[in-house]
């Protein structure tokens, strides 16, 4: 009897032994509503993890409050390997620079697990806009600083960061017109309300096909594997600018290292499966298998860069 109790106590004290982990359903929190990239990434990953481990993986959408609700819940969750959060670049690298009072601290509260997806963004123009290239956009902005309107999916979005970054590095200013999400911003660009936009390539894709929107450049450091014909901003003469909308899996700080390693290994395996890659590619999104250390480095680098841009461009939500 005694050994049973001892076994039970040991079992409870170390609920996440890597060998038999997981022994109960796993929760992945998504800070965004169903349909967004964080949600889709969670669901694709969750379904494959359930298959691989025989434990149900539940995706919980906890949208709202700039992602604070889900991020805070993850930061405060028990570090037992049964709660994770599918954060985006905004949650871990932009909001900390943007908001004075943060309910969570990425470094202190969260442990990186694995990178998951990478969605390219583009600088795009309305078909009838007078801009045929990035150089013409910069020239126009220099001729009339602050008089060229650019649509983005919202205040504090990584898209806005790219816009300000572009302005800083070319010594110009733009008129930032934020929308409520990518779809309405893309519709405004397609309808010609706004001549320019910095949007996810998936948002502009249907309008590019119909000929209403023209892509001028991608915002990443290298060309997109889906549309290699689009130049990068750097090639077009805007130095340094390199950003995309990525998502990554994080655990509450204190989650046992063996558990994180096990999950990272499984995620790597899943992200290289052809059908998984295909599902992400359907939305114009790449998978980016990586180690936890690589994710950590990427978060730190992005946070530092974005903090500098936010300060220089004086972006403030309040």
Partner 1 sequence: METLSNLAFGLGVALSWQNVLYCFIGCFLGTLVGVLPGIGPVATVAMLLPFTFGLGPAPALIMLAGIYYGAQYGGSTTAILVNIPGESSSVVTTLDGHQMARRGRAGPALGIAAIGSFVAGCIATLLIAYFAPPLAELALKFSPAEYFSLMVFGLIAAVVLARGSLIKAIAMVCFGILLGLIGTDVNSGVIRFAFGQAELADGVGFVALAMAFFGITDVVLNLEHKEVQQVFTSRIGSVLPTLADLRTCFWSIVRGTALGSLLGVLPGGGALLASFAAYMAEKKIAKPPRTFGEGDIRGVAAPESANNAGAQTSFIPMLTLGIPSNPTMALMIGALMIQGIAPGPQVMTERPELFWGLIASMWVGNLMLLVLNLPLVGVWIKLLAVPYRLLFPAIFVFCCIGAYAVDNKVFDVYALAALSALGYVLLKLDCEPAPMVLGFILGPMMEENLRRAMMISFGDPTVLITRPISAGFLFAALALLIAIALPALRAKREEAMQE
**What is the binding site for partner 1 (CB under 8 A)?**
33-36, 60-66, 68-69, 72, 103, 147, 149, 154-156, 175, 177-181, 183-184, 187-188, 190-191, 193-194, 206, 210, 317-318
CA distances from 53 to 26, 114, 155 (A): 10, 17, 40
Nearer to partner 1, 154 or 221 (CB): 154
Q: Cβ of residue 75: shortest distance to partner 1, in angstroms?
A: 13
Q: Cβ of residue 179: shortest distance to partner 1, in angstroms?
A: 7
The total number of residues written for the chain in this structure: 318
Nearer to partner 1, 17 or 155 (CB): 155
Nearer to partner 1, 36 or 112 (CB): 36
Nearer to partner 1, 58 or 168 (CB): 58
Q: Cβ of residue 249: shortest distance to partner 1, in angstroms?
A: 19
Distance CA 161, CA 310 (A): 7
216: left (phi > 0), else alpha (psi -120 to 50), else beta? Answer: alpha
Q: Cβ of residue 86: shortest distance to partner 1, in angstroms?
A: 15
Nearer to partner 1, 16 or 151 (CB): 151
Nearer to partner 1, 62 or 214 (CB): 62
Q: Cβ of residue 190: shortest distance to partner 1, in angstroms?
A: 7
Within the chain, residue ranges assigned H as helices are 2-13, 37-53, 68-76, 89, 95-98, 106-109, 134-143, 158-170, 182-191, 201-209, 257-271, 274-282, 292-313
Distance CA 112, CA 84 (A): 10
Distance CA 204, CA 213 (A): 7
Cα atoms in the 13 Å half-sphere on the side-chain side of 138: 19
Q: What is the DSSP letter of 90?
A: I
The two tokens of residue 128 are 């009838």
Q: Cβ of residue 43: shortest distance to partner 1, in angstroms?
A: 11
Q: Phi and psi at residue 117, in whole multiples of 5°?
A: -135, 160
């Amino acid at each position: 009897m005694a050994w049973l109790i001892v076994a039970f106590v040991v079992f409870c004290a170390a609920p996440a032994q890597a060998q038999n982990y997981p022994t109960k359903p796993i929760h992945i929190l998504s800070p965004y509503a169903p349909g967004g990239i964080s949600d889709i990434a969670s669901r694709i990953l969750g379904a494959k993890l359930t298959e691989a481990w025989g434990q149900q993986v539940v995706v919980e959408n906890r949208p709202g409050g700039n992602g604070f609700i889900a991020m805070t819940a993850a930061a405060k969750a028990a570090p037992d390997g049964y709660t994770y959060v599918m954060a985006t670049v905004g949650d871990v690298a932009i909001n900390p620079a943007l908001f004075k009072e943060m309910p969570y601290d990425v470094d202190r509260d969260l442990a990186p697990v694995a990178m998951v997806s990478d969605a390219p963004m583009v600088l795009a123009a309305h078909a009838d806009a007078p801009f045929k290239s990035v150089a013409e956009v910069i020239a126009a902005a220099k001729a009339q600083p602050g008089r060229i309107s650019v649509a983005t999916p919202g205040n504090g979005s990584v898209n806005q960061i790219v816009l300000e970054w572009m302005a800083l590095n070319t010594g110009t200013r733009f008129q930032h017109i934020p929308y409520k999400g990518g779809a309405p911003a893309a519709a405004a660009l397609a309808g010609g309300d706004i001549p320019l936009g910095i949007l996810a390539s998936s948002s502009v894709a249907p309008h590019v096909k119909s000929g209403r929107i023209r892509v001028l450049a991608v915002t990443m450091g290298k060309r997109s594997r889906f549309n290699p014909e689009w130049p990068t901003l750097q090639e077009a003469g805007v130095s340094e600018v390199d950003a995309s909308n990525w998502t990554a899996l994080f655990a509450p700080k204190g989650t046992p290292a063996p558990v994180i390693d096990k999950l990272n290994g499984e995620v790597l395996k899943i992200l290289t499966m052809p059908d998984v890659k295909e599902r992400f590619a359907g939305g114009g999104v790449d998978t980016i298998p990586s180690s936890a250390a690589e994710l950590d480095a990427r978060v730190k680098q992005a946070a530092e860069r974005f903090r500098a841009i936010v300060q220089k461009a004086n972006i403030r939500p309040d």
